[in-house]
Structure 1
Amino acid sequence: MAGRLFGVGLGPGDPELVTVKAARLIGAADVIAYHAARHGRSNARAIAARYLREGQLEEPLIYPVTTETTDHPGGYQGAIDEFYAQSAERLAAHLDAGRDVVVLAEGDPFFYGSYMHMHKRLADRYEAQVVPGVTSVSAASAVLGRPLMERDETLTVLPGTLPPAELAARLAGTDSAAIMKLGRTFPGVRDALEQAGRLDDAWYVERATTDRERHGRIADIDPATVPYFSLALLPSRAAASFSEAPAPRPGGGGVTVIGLGPAGPGWLTPEARSALAAADDVVGYGPYVDRVPRHPRQRRHPSDNRVEAERAAFALDLAKRGHRVAVVSSGDPGVFAMAAAVLEAAEDPQWKDVPVRVVPGLTAAQAVASRVGAPLGHDFCVLSLSDRLKPWEVIESRLTAAAGADLVIAIYNPASQSRKEQLVRARELLLEWRDPATPVAVGRDVGGPEESVRVTTLGELDPATIDMRCLLIVGSSQTRMATRGDGTTQMYTPRHYPA
């Protein structure tokens, strides 16, 4: 008596989304077959691993090609057709021997699945049954917390391999859409969404429901980071006002400390943009949170600038409860900012298992330096004149050491409404080591609407003109000022140093 063939859908990746029927059939089968690329790893087998039992035969069906070229006389399609025919005969041998065969399929077997190629070659010869699975489209909708369609709306499922012009035409005529098969097609898909006027509505989901899941706005995703196992989603138009944050997933939370750069969106890195888009919650000093583009499903938690420790603890606690938390800092989060505060708080045993990641940003020192030339072209140090978290005596000793070492010095937090004398004293200390003609760059609100940048000298620097929004770069003995043909003054430190 011949065996039976089962095409079993495993869902999008979370083993707990495997149906009861699928789990039962996998455990009972004589033979487990699964498709894999030439490296031999199979996502389908990884999902089903907990449901396998000892003694089962395994049939890995290894694709001869995926996206590369082939010298097969029939070209790519000829190589694939031959592979499917040979694979079907391998399974037929087991079925003829009376063995039940389960072919594992990610998602649903008949939804862009490889199983269908076995089914149409074998179902007319053997008893065959298909067990549906949760599709990646359903998983993506759930991950985003956004419905696919309501009432009379239509959903269109499209392959990203279509020409961008055809994609755009179809997208323009539908309410909701899912675009599969991304990876190399992503730039064309993004162009099609833009042509159709739907880019602002489009979302990206990668490896939904797995521990490598990532999601965000299509417009914020770096094309170089997009794998094949991802999709683009246009949710229901009614979801535009959908403001609920997705329910946190136990054990799936983490904290990402993100540098926003010194000012507006032009200073934000693609990595930071993607990390922000993936967050459920945004935590930070109020003005920095305001710089983050609003996402309807995200919650925002602004706070005062003097509660770094409390802010870190709040973020870690949210993450412990399953939220993906973005803690935002101006500039780089590791330079006088929130990364150190979060990592220090994370040493508490209650948060030892919360993942913490740091995404760098462009620093204020780099921004000011770029506006005046290249004052950081040689060795330099970075100091803060704020004595809120360290004694002034420590600041004085470090400032003296840096001046004595002839380092260019980038000075953060030079003054505030309550700290006026520190910069006066710092200038006096520096003049004990530096010539009054030493170049000094003064940058204020660089990249912002009130940006001002000027080059002066240490002797002419007036501390009364400096506030908390300024950053100073004090040159070394080698730093030079040069007047350009247009009358502007540039400041640079040569890369060589006298013997």
Structure 2
Amino acid sequence: MTGRLYGVGLGPGDPELITVKAARLIGEADVIAYHAARHGRSIARSIAEPYLRAGQIEEPLLYPVTTETTTHPGGYQGALEDFYAECTARLAAHLDAGRTVVVLCEGDPLFYGSYMHLHKRLAHRYPATVVPGVTSVSAAAAVLGRPLVERDEILTVLPGTLPAGELADRLRRSDAAAVLKLGRTFEKVRDAFAAAGRLDDAWYVERATMAGERVAPLREVDPDGVPYFSLALLAGPGGGAVPPEPPRPAVAPEVVVVGLGPAGRPWLTPEAQEALASATDLVGYGPYLDRVPPNPRQRRHPTGNRVEAERARHALELAREGRRVAVVSSGDPGVFAMASAVLEAAEDYPDVPVRVVPGITAAQAVAARAGAPLGHDFCVLSLSDLLKPWEVIAERLTAAARADLVIAIYNPASRHRTWQLPAARDLLLEHRSPDTPVVIGRDVGGPEESLTVTTLAALDPATVDMRCLLIIGSSTTRVTTRGTVYTPRRYP
């Protein structure tokens, strides 16, 4: 089995501009090949050096000539043909042996890249992959800090080796242009810009992102010492225009009550994310507010768990001052949460707009983890008797049990409320079979998530706390052999 050939773009020179994929392949390769001048130093290898590992085979490909003068009988092109034929044979020997070969290439391998000569000779014989890199043109524009092209402008990329007349003609007709391969062509390129009437708008960028980086107006550059790794850049007509400072948009004051879902960002709806991002102030119970990533431009107002009315009024006062306020709730804000508290308080603030953004409820989250226990008619009850008397809770539990509804129970127990759940279980057993399925979901979506499927008779209140939600099945609720719980949509 043969090896695989990779042409890996290294970007413009800064090793940190190598792509993640390129860095991985360089580190994994059996053979690293790179072009180098006859003195043996290779810019490509120096860029890739941080990603090389000990024990790799290196194949330096030494150019036979450095200028377009040579004693080779076939001239400069003949010398290069022989050079690439010899390089191809060397790399083919590694590929035939099953080795992975990475050929390093500055910039992008197929954008005036040296790798393309090897690719044309090897890619039809071996599996070959090209990994693109940041081009010198992109790097130069970034260093210059000006948009190269925008909207419908056209970018022209030109080699400096073109005849002067053709260069000038193309520059006249270009919105934006990049002229590469300067070095010995610099004076011709500068004269072409002048002939095209574009010299005053052109910039010179040398060794972009590398040590010795230099930026200057093209007309001010001394031709002596201009390196090959430089280019002339002409930004498009819109590149230098600075738009007027727009007026700061006024913040529309409002209160948005946002459901965070049961836990974590994956449970957050896009509408809720947008409401949180556009807020100037966040108000909520401390642990719920902690679930929203901090943003230094926003003010946070955490409060305790038993001050809902005060929290709501505080949010409305902030909005009246011209703030955009998000009041956060776990789950859905309209299910035993902050929406009703805010709307009740808002009756005294008719000038403050209030809207509610829904969230995934704890009942939905637990039901989804268990299967589909809420597949038929169901009701939702809270066992907390802090805001309503136990007698009302007992009447509603009895009515739901008699009606054969699946029941989702919120706030089943706490450190100070321990007798309510046993009492509720006993009430339900008066109307439900002892083997009625019961689902106990704890911290669903959180790091301590657990799910227990039991029966009404076997329900142990000692295993239930405030972080739990219970689903009590109906007479038709079933538990499969896999432990999945569902309630059929058809009723006997």
1:271 and 2:271 aligned: yes
Amino acid aligned to 1:423: L
Q: 1:383 aligns with which of 364, 381, 384?
A: 381
Partner Cα separation in structure 1 for residue 310 and residue 437 of structure 2: 40
1:259 and 2:259 aligned: yes
- The residue aligned with 1:393 is 391
- The residue aligned with 2:314 is 314
- The residue aligned with 1:455 is 453
Name the CA shift for 1:162/1:253 in 2 (closer, same or farther; >3 Å).
Answer: farther
2:433 partner SS: coil
Partner Cα separation in structure 2 for residue 260 and residue 160 of structure 1: 39
Cα deviation code 1:74-131 (max 9, x no counterpart): xxxxxxxxxxxxxxxxxxxxxxxxxxxxxxxxxxxxxxxxxxxxxxxxxxxxxxxxxx
- The residue aligned with 1:481 is 479
Partner Cα separation in structure 2 for residue 361 and residue 371 of structure 1: 17
- The residue aligned with 1:437 is 435
Partner Cα separation in structure 1 for residue 387 and residue 276 of structure 2: 29
Q: CA deviation at 1:304?
A: 0.2
- The residue aligned with 2:281 is 281
Name the CA shift for 1:406/1:156 in 2 (closer, same or farther; >3 Å).
Answer: same
1:413 and 2:407 aligned: no
Q: CA deviation at 1:296?
A: 1.7
Q: CA deviation at 1:454?
A: 1.1
Q: Which runs of 5+ in 2 are unaligned?
A: 1-142, 158-247
Report 1:164-179 matches (<5 A): none
- The residue aligned with 2:372 is 374
Q: 1:467 aligns with which of 465, 477, 482?
A: 465
Contact 1:248 1:323 in 2 (8 A): no
Name the CA shift for 1:292/1:161 in 2 (closer, same or farther; >3 Å).
Answer: farther
Name the CA shift for 1:319/1:497 in 2 (closer, same or farther; >3 Å).
Answer: same
1:496 and 2:482 aligned: no
Q: Which runs of 5+ in 1 are unaligned?
A: 1-151, 167-246
Partner Cα separation in structure 2 for residue 443 and residue 324 of structure 1: 35
Partner Cα separation in structure 2 for residue 155 and residue 475 of structure 1: 65
2:311 partner SS: helix
User: What TM-score do you get using the length of structure 2 for normalisation?
Assistant: 0.51
Contact 1:343 1:356 in 2 (8 A): yes
- The residue aligned with 2:342 is 342
1:368 partner SS: helix
Partner Cα separation in structure 1 for residue 262 and residue 290 of structure 2: 14
1:347 partner SS: helix
Amino acid aligned to 1:492: Y
User: What TM-score do you get using the length of structure 1 for normalisation?
Assistant: 0.50
2:347 partner SS: coil
Q: CA deviation at 1:295?
A: 1.5
Contact 1:282 1:327 in 2 (8 A): yes
Name the CA shift for 1:157/1:275 in 2 (closer, same or farther; >3 Å).
Answer: farther
Amino acid aligned to 2:315: A
Cα deviation code 1:21-75 (max 9, x no counterpart): xxxxxxxxxxxxxxxxxxxxxxxxxxxxxxxxxxxxxxxxxxxxxxxxxxxxxxx
Amino acid aligned to 2:376: H
Name the CA shift for 1:407/1:161 in 2 (closer, same or farther; >3 Å).
Answer: farther
Contact 1:386 1:413 in 2 (8 A): yes
Amino acid aligned to 1:443: G
2:400 partner SS: helix
Cα deviation code 1:248-280 (max 9, x no counterpart): 958x20000000000011100111001100000
Amino acid aligned to 1:254: E
Amino acid aligned to 1:374: A
Cα deviation code 1:130-162 (max 9, x no counterpart): xxxxxxxxxxxxxxxxxxxxxx99575975789
Partner Cα separation in structure 2 for residue 162 and residue 330 of structure 1: 49
Q: CA deviation at 1:353?
A: 1.3
Report 1:21-420 matches (<5 A): 159=150, 249=250, 252-348=252-348, 351-420=349-418
Amino acid aligned to 2:486: Y
Amino acid aligned to 1:342: V
Report 1:9-20 matches (<5 A): none
- Higher gyration radius (CA): 2
Contact 1:249 1:322 in 2 (8 A): no
Structure 1 consecutive aligned stretches of length 4 or more whose deviation exceeds 2 Å: 152-163, 247-250
2:484 partner SS: strand
Contact 1:248 1:321 in 2 (8 A): no
Partner Cα separation in structure 2 for residue 162 and residue 367 of structure 1: 51
Name the CA shift for 1:353/1:374 in 2 (closer, same or farther; >3 Å).
Answer: same
Partner Cα separation in structure 2 for residue 293 and residue 254 of structure 1: 21
Partner Cα separation in structure 2 for residue 153 and residue 387 of structure 1: 67
Partner Cα separation in structure 1 for residue 293 and residue 328 of structure 2: 12
Partner Cα separation in structure 2 for residue 161 and residue 469 of structure 1: 57
Name the CA shift for 1:294/1:437 in 2 (closer, same or farther; >3 Å).
Answer: same
Percent identity between the two aligned chains: 71
2:294 partner SS: coil
Partner Cα separation in structure 2 for residue 258 and residue 360 of structure 1: 7
Name the CA shift for 1:461/1:248 in 2 (closer, same or farther; >3 Å).
Answer: farther
Amino acid aligned to 1:396: A
